[in-house]
Structure 1
């Protein structure tokens, strides 16, 4: 009986120890989960922030540093109970990305005296001059002229940072074009990423060609007016030139003449020599 009692006591002791370990493991895992939630919270802040202050950035840098240090210690404590190390490389990668991002932005923001985007741009580098261009709101046909001019002006200035360029780009975007890049974090790489997003969406040759053709098809019917005829000639010439610049073969005069004839009211129509090929430039001379 004494041996049986000893075995029972040992078993009970092991059960109690296992229960204690499970309870400790549960608490450690809960604390580790809180570290992950801190990282997620700061990631969400980074996605939504448009003009964070230095204090806000420093506070969150300290938060993720503490979360990382606690996470590392908790991992070791959990491994001591489990008997093996449960590596979480995803957590470390998220932490390092956040730390690099916030450190980069904080370096720029610290040079800001009045905590505004304009002064921040001037304190962190050279102030970019105003650009006399129309805001871009998502029109396929307007993208290439807009982005070419924007790139030329910003590149000609003395080493503006990519963060400056990103703020500047946002100033001249509206509507769906702005929404496309508005949630990018305030880091240097985001300017390159913004360009990639805009180019992938709007610098699509097939869509641009279709846009120019649709513009031709959608031209309104005009009345018998020399001014309106000249305007029509100008609009058509612009679209045809744009198509040629995109490498489109413009050997379809007959189609163009047919399309344009539909844009003239009956008083503007003149008999055409359909027995021979008729070039639309010649047609312009007849109707204008």
Structure 2
């Protein structure tokens, strides 16, 4: 990956952090917006923005003026878009900081200890939040009822305040225009119960999440852990709404095993092959998956740096294809692939594109991508292999055999570049 591509990737990642920070701030319950929390958020936003500005300045210095029109980051003026996002978040946080220094109308949290146990300094319990997910409703409902709904010390005005402040997303929109008055609390609580307390909808939501898990193509400890955790959560959610799943083991095992990659599937069959007289249990599969992802986690990440061959070049974001101007890498361009070998070679040469990775901005001798032709294993892209016939009409392998007798590996690459690339 070139320096420009690395800077664009850093800008994109930092921009996502800013957007995520804005989303989290909107979802954050009001009772959590204490002075310490807001100050920590402000510091985090400043760090994100400093990183973004440094990457932007480096990109401006790196990319020549005439090349900026080819990069959508400059064309769309993304810097000013995210500068405005940063200023909006910072302004909101400063307003919240001012409010946090004042006494809130009803307090920022619920006290657990009563006056008789004042000497026992128990932590405050924050209200749960609910976004509108059917499977999360039972847990939220029970917690809210315990802390607020059944609390005789609170009036209906306070209960409705706590109710509205603990909602986000779809659930928040339902009560968005409801005024905080004593008469509106019971009606609002019953409305939420009727909307999200539908048992059929809860079961459908949980089963959809259980059955729609993605199949793994290769062993990965994160994917295995996620498969185990999601399946366990779904089964627990079903039990919480009185759906008996004790006899579901064969079904759950079949479902989960089908989501495993072939190698993990094989390991599972070997793991239970001694118990041929009885069916394995879900508990056995849980133990196997825990052992598997912990083992893979200990072995990750791989430090292998073996040379690979050209299979696919990842698409570069913010940078259109030099051939058709669409958002994909040159090696994925149908127009480029349809060219004759000589036309491909000429296009790469005339557009100052690297013969090895098919990216612009550097020559093959300075390409950092550790890949090679999957046909002859030399330092040029596999799509350009036949184009090497322009070096000599005779067989290309004999040409390289002759070169190997005269120069070492580094000189071979320089020689190949001189043959294929234009004179600088």
The TM-score normalised by the length of structure 2 is 0.35
Higher relative contact order structure (alpha carbons within 8 Å, sequence separation ≥ 6) = 1
